[in-house]
Structure 1
Amino acid sequence: MGEGVHIIPAQQRIGENWYRGTADAIYQNLDLIKSQTATERILILGGDHIYKMDYSRMINFHVESGADVTVACIQKPIEQASEFGVMGLNEQGDIINFVEKPKNPTPMPNDNSKALISMGIYIFNVDVLDAELRQALENPDYKHDFGHNIIPSLIGRSNLKGYVFTERGHPGGNGYWRDVGHVDEYYAATMDLLAPTPELDLYDTSWPIMTNQVQRPGVKFLFNDPNRRGFAVDSVLCAGAIISGGQVNHSLVSSDVRVEDFAEVQDSILLPRSIVGRSCKLKKVIVGEECIIPDGTVIGYNLEEDKKRYTVTEDGVVLVSAEMFEAKQEVDANSDIEALA
């Protein structure tokens, strides 16, 4: 069918600026889009979202409705809506208003507890997108963003439709979607995967997630002594992980992770090739790739102390990285030298 995947590096095609926003990123690659023969429509996706969606249904909606632009949208609690573009639709599905990250979001007409927000997924007719980008981005005060500029400016001038993303007909049988541009949302999305019946089911064989995985051996659990037992419950563990006399509870353990003797890991995310040392205690922690947690380290039980050493989010998630521990070790070493002096 002539399908393929092309990875296009960032470019500076219209001056000395790198991409100044989502709209500018498309603008600087318009020549590549238009070089494809018989390209009438373009589907634009965000790179920091987690969901399952059958795009063909949205494309069919776009074509059948005669839209120039279609914006995917989903219902979200009103208290979360300020983080997104909030939109309103009329009975015909036309977008009649759109405000990016409003301080006081407008609720849905039939439900004051929710707002209709943009998912950052768009379908444009290429001729409409081409004309709008070329005209709009000549303005030096432009914010170069679809949500701030392009979509609001097209209301009343083009046929804009809202495609409401629901569970109907989509893989997984639900309308699950999260924007993981913030650490707290990334953490929440990961914790969602650990539910007995997760909204986003990685084990769904009818709509599998295709990815490239390095071949690694299976997960290994070591020791079964009364005070030294390696186990994991309510968790997801990836290939190559070794739980050596430690305890893992309600956590995600990535590939090639080691949890050493007497360590306790609770409500946490351990990224690839990280090591949790002996007798460590971690709670609600994201451990970065190749990060080695020294023996006896306690994180997540005293957030005020954690803030002095690590990154702590608004929701109390502690983010630690290899660089943080390297910096801490350097400070400790300098303190030892000063003490000796």
Structure 2
Amino acid sequence: MINNKVLAIILGGGQGSRLHPLTEERSKPAVPIAGKYRLVDIPISNCINSDIKRMFVLTQFNSASLNRHIKDTYHFSFFSSAFVDVLAAEQTPHNKTWFQGTADAVRQSMHHFLRHDFDYALILSGDQLYQMDYDKMIEAHEENNAEISIATIPVNAKDATSFGILKANQENMVTSFIEKPDASLLPDWTSEVSDDMKSQGRDYLASMGIYIFNRELLTQLMNDPSTNDFGKEIIPQSIEKHKTLSFQYEGYWTDIGNIDSFFEANIGLTDDIPKFNLYDKAKRIYTHARMLPTTKIAGTTLDRAVISEGCIISASRIEKSVIGIRSRIGKESTVINTYMMGSDYYETLLDIESHKIKVLMGIGERCFIKNCILDKNSRIGDDVRINGGTHLEDTENDMYAIKDGIVVVKKGATIPVGYVI
């Protein structure tokens, strides 16, 4: 079943500088999460679970790995109209610049969208972690005869200053909007929320950056080249002129904007009852199907660990950590509060001998790794000690970066034997 009324447009985001160095060689939607997925799998899976199977992913930075992942992953029936297409920024005779913002990205790609039949454009972000039934939002949009719908999430006063905050009336129609309000202005910006949200002090409606636009209105709005961004320009300017619905969502949602929130979201998967539920059959997350062997573990104490397939682990202890596909961890090593992304391939004995590889992919023997993100294909030599934490100053070199006390070992980097951070 395909919802032919809706075309999904997933925004890949800008350069992803706040997620650097994870975005040094890949676009933000291609960043690996939860040991085996990529960020872009989240909105695509939400769409598939909502019977929306016509999707465009818009990107302009380092899009090669994203292209490859989508091409290898999302195959629909030859007789189906379903597709996931990546649109990278392109120069045309009419436009010689890159995307200048979210709305500009949609504007520059409109000629691709308009070749398809659709009543509504569902605009999504490629760097958020949540599970949402878009069908319910589309139903609410239709029932209220809205021209624009904005998904909103109740937040507390502390968080409200970091978001675009909407004010909605009793019919859930948006009456006003303010971008990142000062704390002194907040008393005037409370909205009607559920009793459960009120009890948590979440009285402010934050925009989640998820929008539905009627086709005609989107086409009309995109004809104005002076507006480049949905959140900063299109939405505030449209509220008074066009019927705009606030669709409240109360589930788990996090915007993965920086290393700190990315790390927290991944480590949160090790909780007894994680806020992001990967085990819900009705809301499953799809990704590239790999034919990997089962994981092999010898002599390891595991405590709140999430282990992906294809790993070979001989560590002494793994605690509150996410271990990605094809990870190798040597004897007597301890891994705590760490996200290890794993490897893209296995090194064979022949590779090791012929290339004289001294430090193997993965974590060596007798290592201590804490508060760390190990990017794909990184190599940690024997007897390495990495003890991340707020005692460390932010810094960066060819091997690693430290941000907010989290040590990020770069993709393919080698940390030599006996190194201490």
Which bracket does the TM-score occupy, shorter chain normalised? 0.7 to 0.9
Corresponding residue SS for 1:35: coil
Q: Residues of 2 paired with 1:202 and 1:254: CA distance?
A: 15
Q: Residues of 2 paired with 1:245 and 1:260: CA distance?
A: 5
Please state how far the C-alpha of 1:325 moved relative to its aligned partner: 4.2
Pick the aligned partner of 1:265 from 332, 335, 343. 335
Which residue in the other structure is 2:401 paired with? Answer: 311
Q: Residues of 2 paired with 1:268 and 1:77: CA distance?
A: 29
Corresponding residue SS for 1:251: strand
Which residue in the other structure is 1:30 paired with? Answer: 110
Q: Residues of 1 paired with 2:385 and 2:106: CA distance?
A: 46
Higher RCO (C-alpha under 8 Å, 6+ residues apart): 2
Which residue in the other structure is 1:172 paired with? Answer: none
Please state how far the C-alpha of 1:164 moved relative to its aligned partner: 0.3
Is 2:382 the counterpart of 1:295?
A: yes
Please state how far the C-alpha of 1:306 moved relative to its aligned partner: 6.3
Deviations 1:236-260 (A, max 9, x none): 1001111113321110000011111
Corresponding residue SS for 1:123: strand
Q: Residues of 2 paired with 1:52 and 1:219: CA distance?
A: 27
Q: Is the 8 A contact 1:250 1:268 kept in 2?
A: yes
Pick the aligned partner of 2:174 from 89, 92, 95. 95
Which residue in the other structure is 1:226 paired with? Answer: none
Q: Is the 8 A contact 1:70 1:160 kept in 2?
A: yes
Corresponding residue SS for 1:74: strand
Q: Residues of 1 paired with 2:254 and 2:391: CA distance?
A: 29
Please state how far the C-alpha of 1:163 moved relative to its aligned partner: 0.3
* % identical equivalent positions: 28
Q: Is the 8 A contact 2:164 2:178 kept in 1?
A: yes
Q: How does 1:122-137 map to 2 (within 5 A)?
A: 122-135=211-224, 137=225
Q: Is the 8 A contact 2:305 2:322 kept in 1?
A: yes
Please state how far the C-alpha of 1:16 moved relative to its aligned partner: 1.1
Which residue in the other structure is 1:207 paired with? Answer: 283
Please state how far the C-alpha of 1:74 moved relative to its aligned partner: 0.3
Corresponding residue SS for 2:181: coil
The 3 A distance-change label for structure 1 pair 231 and 219 is farther
Q: How does 1:126-165 map to 2 (within 5 A)?
A: 126-135=215-224, 137=225, 139=226, 142=227, 144-165=228-249
Corresponding residue SS for 1:186: helix
Q: Is the 8 A contact 1:261 1:279 kept in 2?
A: yes
Q: Which runs of 5+ in 1 are unaligned?
A: 167-174, 223-228, 333-341
The 3 A distance-change label for structure 1 pair 302 and 88 is closer
Q: How does 1:5-84 map to 2 (within 5 A)?
A: 5-10=83-88, 11-13=90-92, 14-37=94-117, 39-84=118-163
Please state how far the C-alpha of 1:301 moved relative to its aligned partner: 4.5
Is 2:324 the counterpart of 1:254?
A: yes
Q: Residues of 2 paired with 1:301 and 1:185: CA distance?
A: 16
Number of residue pairs matched? 308
Q: Which moved more, 1:204-213 or 1:22-31?
A: 204-213
Q: Which moved more, 1:155-164 or 1:177-186?
A: 177-186
Q: What TM-score do you get using the length of structure 2 for normalisation?
A: 0.68
Q: Is the 8 A contact 2:388 2:407 kept in 1?
A: no
Q: Please provide the CA RMSD for this pair.
A: 2.3
Corresponding residue SS for 2:284: coil
Corresponding residue SS for 1:28: helix
Corresponding residue SS for 1:134: coil
Larger Rg: 1
Deviations 1:219-246 (A, max 9, x none): 1112xxxxxx323221110011111133
Q: Which runs of 5+ in 2 are unaligned?
A: 3-79, 193-197, 344-360
Deviations 1:94-148 (A, max 9, x none): 112222333436352565654211111100011111111212x2x2xx4x11000
The 3 A distance-change label for structure 1 pair 92 and 49 is same
Corresponding residue SS for 1:150: helix
Q: How does 1:222-233 map to 2 (within 5 A)?
A: 222=298, 229-233=299-303
Q: Residues of 1 paired with 2:376 and 2:393: CA distance?
A: 19
The 3 A distance-change label for structure 1 pair 312 and 88 is farther
Deviations 1:163-186 (A, max 9, x none): 0012xxxxxxxx011111211111
